[in-house]
Amino acid sequence: MKRNLYVSAAASVVLMAGGPVAAASAATAETPTTSRTAPASAVARVDVDAGGAAAAALKHSPGVVESLDKDGAIWHVNVIGKDGVTNSELEVSTAGAVTERNKDRDDNAAENARLVGAKITAAAAMKAALAAHPGTVVSVDWDDDDDNGSAPHWNVEVRAADGKTSNYDVGATDGKVTVSSDDGDDNSDDNDNN
């Protein structure tokens, strides 16, 4: 009994004298080495691009991507359900985590039918735009507004390696890529080059 008392007393003295150092070294010894030595490049490899954001959003909410754009470190993705009625507004982090911001019923099922039935998806439109004009996709939007007489298409914004961004239209039926004259000013006089 006295022996246990002496051991407990000795342990108390050691903890009082070297407790913080011992606790720190014990915590360090139990911490996996991968978390302490992970290279900075590992963080960069996790950054989700537009295609990854679209895939993550569709895994969370099956349907068809209607629009996708990056705001800082977050991708905003709008998904229309295959039924043409469900509308999900999602955010995808650079790590690929999906957060549902809003899910509601869209009463424009007839308008969404063209999107849901489009032969060229948002993912295919992004690939087509990048094949014709290398860079990084910044945004993609469905456009079936026939005010200017154009057929349904995707607007894809691509940032080139030099930092310059350009807009391209990708046909919803044929995947044909053309330079878009719409640079945000709704002036579509030159958009007849399809």
Q: What whole-number distance in Å separates Cα of residue 188 and Cα of residue 153?
A: 14
The verdict on 66 and 150 lying in the same domain is yes
pTM to 2 decimals? 0.68
Mean pLDDT by 10 residues, the chain (194 residues): 46 44 39 42 65 96 96 95 92 94 84 91 97 95 77 94 95 93 42 37
Could you tell me the residue range of the domain that residue 10 belongs to? Answer: 2-38
The verdict on 67 and 32 lying in the same domain is no
The verdict on 12 and 86 lying in the same domain is no
The verdict on 116 and 174 lying in the same domain is yes
Reduce the secondary structure of 83-130 to three states and give it as a string.
Answer: CCCEEEEEEEECCCCEEEEEEEECCCHHHHHHHHCCCCCHHHHHHHHH
Contact 123, 150 (CB under 8 A): no
pLDDT tens figures, 53-104: 999 999 999 999 999 999 999 999 999 999 889 999 999 998 999 999 999 9
Q: Domain total for the chain?
A: 2
Residue 147's contacts (CB-CB under 8 Å, 6 or more residues apart) are 188
Partners of residue 86 on adjacent β-strands: 105
Q: Look at residue 194 and give its three-state secondary structure.
A: coil
**H/E element, 138:** strand 136-143
Is residue 25 domain-resident? yes
